[in-house]
Amino acid sequence: MPIKNYDPVIALLRSAFLANSDLYGVVSDEIYPDYINAIENPVFPNLTIHMDDSISLKNKIPSSECYYYVYGWTKNGPDEASYLFNLTVDTIDLKPPVGLTMCRKVQGRAPLYDADTRTHYFMSKFLIYVPKSLMYT
* CATH number of the domain bearing residue 56: 3.30.2000.30
Q: Which domain holds residue 87?
A: 8-135
CA distance 68 to 28: 21
Q: DSSP string of the chain? A: -PBPSS-HHHHHHHHHHHH-HHHHHHHTT-EESS-GGGSSS--SSEEEEEEEEEEE-SSSTTEEEEEEEEEEEESS-HHHHHHHHHHHHHHHSSSPPTT-SEEEEEEEEEEEEETTTTEEEEEEEEEEEEEGGGGB-
Average pLDDT over residues 20-40: 93
**131 phi and psi angles, rounded to 5 deg:** -65, 135
pLDDT tens digits for 63-120?
A: 889 999 999 999 999 999 999 999 999 999 988 999 999 999 999 999 999 998 899 9
* Domain assignment present for 36: yes
* Domain assignment present for 84: yes
Q: Within its chain, how far is the Cα of 62 from the centroid?
A: 23
* Domain assignment present for 2: no
Are the C-beta atoms of residues 28 and 14 closer than 8 Å to each other? no
pLDDT of residue 60: 65
* Domain assignment present for 88: yes
pLDDT of residue 119: 94
* Domain assignment present for 3: no
Q: DSSP string of 22-34? A: HHHHHHTT-EESS
* pLDDT more than 90, % of the chain: 75
CA distance 90 to 120: 20
Number of domains in the chain: 1
Any residues with CB less than 8 A from the CB of 83 and at least 6 apart, and which?
26
